[in-house]
């Protein structure tokens, strides 16, 4: 049996085991670098010492208002300092953080607050009417306390109907002892999915997964000391991909961005020195097409994680020469945000720019913190790595959620066979790199042939007049379904439906070519994802 047969005296104890939690990052940063800049919110600044102080006071104040370990504290906040403070303070008082999408309608917010059993809601002053509408139909014993967060910089003043966030913060004790997890499996966050196919599901994160996500992304993003992160990814979306929890590990600075515009992004890079940000391809597109007056010079390379949809190669080819280096990442709410990355290989340095862009649009390989990401068929057998055979992306590892809150059936279905089932269709290249072709529900079956909406979208994006586009299935009496494209044109550009259809026919097989092109503003989520379910409804309503 060898030496493993006798492990007397090798027990786990306080000296050799501490539950993993991202809270450790902030405690360490405040101790070692108390004077380093930790947070920027427009004209306000916090050092690590000041951030730790305010986080501690907020944790104390929440406890004084009745929050106990395991309770849920919800937020309805944009990317502002209050949201950053809550990201730390809620788990620091032992509670579970539930960040709610600020673009949801009242009915869904009502469901989330009730389903998640939120005890307190931190709400931006501009969103109070939405929050009040949401709680107006809740039972009295379900209604959370509302704390109103005024934003003087945005012109939103305190509200005398609810306790003011600044007053609540001031009431806290700066010497409050944080309530750290006794077990790293304890829940740290509750994040709700988009709910496009029914009621949203509550995804539960644990301290261990959040900690490992922060450490793994340091490797994947090649972070060194003192980066400056611009919060384009909403902090309600997978807790900002766990990036706010990550920054103290490398003594970085978080730069808040309440309103995501090309002008504000350029300002943050040029004036505040932002070095990193994450965002959907639509953000990249906005930067590419920024007005000349909105652009500001900068002399450093900005590292960008992009996710949410495969970035069109045409967009990447225009974006990177502006001073950006893009890494395609992929993940879901259920995987704490990014779980795979298109890790760059040295041999690709010499390929042509057009080919580089196509490579960078790959979904990639498992991050160091994910045990496995693989494409499997319906029998859960890995598909051949031939660059053609499609299956479903499945993952397992320590950054997969605990499960869906109050939904054991959905949890069991999602984890069937020992893997998390993503619902995303993809193939694997011979080198193992995954490439998404579509969400399972986005595959268009036309005359028995599978059509990837992503492939059609990539073709359209090469047209010089197209700004963004989305392709969905349109019912057809002959073919069952045919591709239907929804297109936003660039400002000042024009194109006709027949022109775009002909352009696609030059690059795609006939059955893949859109049969209709609709020019309209595309519906988008707060994270920049195009809401295809709305477009499907519009396509179904079109004449056959």
Q: What is the mean pLDDT of the segment spanning 173-197?
A: 90
Per-residue model confidence (pLDDT) at position 154: 83
Residues 59 and 181 in one domain: yes
416 and 435, same structural domain?
Answer: yes
Element (H or E) spanning 77, and its range? Answer: none
Same domain, 287 and 404: yes
So what's the pLDDT on residue 315?
79
Q: Does residue 415 form part of some domain?
A: yes
Calculate mean pLDDT across residues 49-66.
98
Q: Which two tokens stand for residue 374?
A: 């693989």
Q: What percent of the chain has pLDDT over 70?
A: 95
Among the candidates 440, 465, 491, a domain finishes at 440
Classify burial at 117, counting beta carbons within 10 Å of its beta carbon; exposed 0-12, middle 13-18, buried 19 or more: middle
Q: Give the CATH number of the domain where residue 460 resides.
A: 3.30.300.30
Distance CA 538, CA 523 (A): 11
In this prediction, residue 200 has a pLDDT band, given cuts at 50, 70 and 90, of confident
Is it the case that residue 478 has pLDDT exceeding 90? no
Do 450 and 433 fall into the same domain?
no
| Cα 412 to Cα 80, 405, 409, 421, distances in angstroms | 36, 12, 5, 10
Q: Does residue 57 sit within a domain?
A: yes
**Band of pLDDT at residue 197, cut at 50, 70 and 90:** very low
CATH code, 206: 3.40.50.980
Kindly state the average pLDDT of the residues 179-204: 88
Domain-embedded: residue 97: yes
Q: Please determine, for residue 444, whether its predicted confidence score (pLDDT) is greater than 70.
A: yes
Residue 305 binned pLDDT confidence (cut-offs 50, 70, 90): very high
Q: 215 lies in a domain?
A: no
| pLDDT confidence tier of residue 216, bands split at 50, 70 and 90 | very high
Range of the structural domain that residue 461 is part of: 443-540
Statement: residue 11 has pLDDT above 60:
yes
**Same structural domain, 353 and 392:** yes
Residue 61 lies in a domain: yes
In whole angstroms, give the CA distance from residue 542 to residue 516: 10
Task: Specify the pLDDT at position 452.
Answer: 76
How many residues in total does the chain contain? 544
Residues 205, 96 share a domain: yes
Instruction: For 205-215, write each residue's pLDDT tens digit.
Output: 999 999 999 99
Is residue 196 over pLDDT 50? no
Examine the domain organization and report whether 463 and 350 are in the same domain.
no
In a domain, 17, yes or no: no
Give the residue from 194, 210, 226 where a domain finishes.
210
List, for residues 227-270, the tens digit of each pLDDT value.
999 999 999 999 999 999 999 999 999 999 999 999 999 999 99
d(CA 339, CA 331): 5
Listed residue (168, 165, 161, 167) closest to 148, CA to CA: 165
pLDDT band at 447 (very low <50, low <70, confident <90, very high): low
231 lies in some domain: no
Q: Report how far residue 464's alpha carbon sits from residue 275's, in angstroms, rounded to the nearest whole number.
A: 29
- pLDDT over 70 (residue 1): no
Of 1-10, 57-66, 507-516, highest mean pLDDT: 57-66
Last residue of a domain, one of 177, 210, 243: 210
Give the CA-trace dihedral at 33, 37, 41, 45, to 10 degrees.
Answer: 100
10 Å CB burial of residue 81 (0-12, 13-18, 19+) is buried
CATH number of the domain residue 320 falls in: 3.40.50.12780
Say if residue 424 is in the same domain as residue 314: yes
Contact between 476 and 414 (Cβ < 8 Å): no
Q: Are residues 277 and 412 in the same domain?
A: yes
One domain, residues 289 and 347 = yes
Overall number of domains in the chain: 3
What is the per-residue pLDDT for 156? 83
SS3 529: coil
At residue 531, the pLDDT reads: 84
Whether residue 391 is found in the same domain as residue 471: no
Q: Tell me, what's the pLDDT at 527?
A: 62
Give percent of the chain with pLDDT exceeding 90. Answer: 74
Domain presence at residue 16: no
pTM of the model: 0.84
The mean pLDDT of 188-195, rounded to a whole number, is: 87
Judged by average pLDDT, the poorest of 87-91, 119-123, 413-417, 423-427 is 423-427
- What's the pLDDT tens digit per position in 72-129? 999 999 999 999 999 999 999 999 999 998 888 888 899 999 999 999 999 999 999 9
Q: Which one is predicted more confidently, 288 or 528?
A: 288
pLDDT given for residue 195 in this prediction: 54
Same structural domain for residues 336 and 300? yes
Please, what is the average pLDDT of the chain?
A: 92
């Amino acid at each position: 049996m060898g030496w493993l047969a006798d492990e007397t005296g090798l027990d786990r104890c306080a000296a050799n085991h501490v539950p993993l939690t991202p809270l450790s990052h902030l405690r360490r940063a405040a101790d070692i670098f108390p004077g380093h800049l930790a947070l920027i919110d427009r004209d306000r600044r916090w050092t690590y010492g000041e951030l730790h102080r305010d986080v501690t006071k907020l944790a104390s104040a929440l406890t004084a208002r009745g929050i106990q370990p395991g309770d849920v504290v919800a937020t309805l906040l944009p990317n502002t300092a209050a949201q950053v403070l809550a990201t730390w303070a809620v788990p620091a008082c032992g509670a579970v953080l539930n960040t709610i999408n600020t673009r949801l309608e009242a009915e869904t917010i009502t469901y989330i607050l009730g389903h998640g059993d939120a005890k307190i809601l931190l709400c931006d002053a501009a969103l109070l009417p939405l929050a009040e509408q949401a709680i107006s139909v809740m039972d009295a014993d379900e209604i959370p306390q509302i704390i109103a967060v005024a934003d003087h910089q945005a012109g939103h003043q305190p509200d005398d109907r609810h306790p003011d966030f600044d007053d609540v913060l001031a009431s806290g004790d700066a010497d409050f002892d944080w309530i750290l997890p006794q077990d790293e499996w304890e829940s740290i966050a509750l994040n709700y999915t988009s709910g496009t196919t029914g009621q949203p599901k509550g995804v539960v994160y644990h301290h261990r997964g959040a900690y490992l996500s922060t450490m793994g992304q340091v490797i994947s993003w090649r972070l060194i000391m003192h980066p400056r992160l611009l919060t384009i990814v909403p902090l309600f979306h997978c807790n900002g991909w766990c990036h706010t929890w990550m920054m103290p590990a490398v003594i970085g600075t978080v730069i808040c961005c309440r309103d995501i515009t090309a002008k504000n992004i350029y300002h943050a890079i040029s004036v505040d020195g932002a070095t990193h940000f994450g965002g959907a391809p639509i953000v990249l597109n906005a930067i590419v097409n920024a007005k000349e007056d909105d652009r500001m010079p900068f002399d450093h390379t900005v590292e960008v994680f992009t996710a949410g949809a495969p970035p069109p190669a045409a967009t990447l080819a225009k974006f990177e020469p502006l001073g950006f280096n893009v890494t395609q990442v992929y993940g879901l709410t259920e995987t704490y945000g990014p779980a795979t990355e298109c890790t760059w290989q040295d041999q690709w340095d010499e390929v042509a720019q057009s080919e580089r862009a196509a490579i960078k649009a790959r979904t990639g390989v498992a991050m160091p913190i994910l045990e496995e990401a693989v494409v499997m068929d319906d029998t859960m057998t890995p598909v051949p790595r031939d660059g053609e055979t499609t299956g479903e992306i499945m993952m397992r590892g320590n950054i997969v959620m605990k499960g869906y809150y109050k939904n054991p059936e959905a949890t069991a279905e999602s984890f069937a066979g020992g893997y998390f089932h993503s619902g995303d269709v993809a193939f694997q290249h011979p080198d193992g790199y995954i490439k998404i072709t579509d969400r399972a529900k986005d595959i268009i079956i036309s005359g028995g042939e599978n059509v990837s909406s992503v492939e059609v979208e990539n073709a359209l994006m090469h047209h010089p007049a197209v700004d963004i586009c989305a392709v969905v299935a349109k019912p057809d009496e002959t073919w069952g379904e045919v591709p239907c494209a929804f297109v936003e044109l660039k400002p000042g550009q024009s194109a006709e439906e027949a022109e775009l259809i002909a352009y696609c026919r030059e690059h795609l097989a006939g059955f893949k070519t859109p049969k209709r092109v609709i020019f309209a503003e595309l519906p988008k989520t707060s994270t920049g994802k195009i809401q295809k379910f709305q477009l499907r409804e519009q396509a179904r309503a079109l004449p056959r």
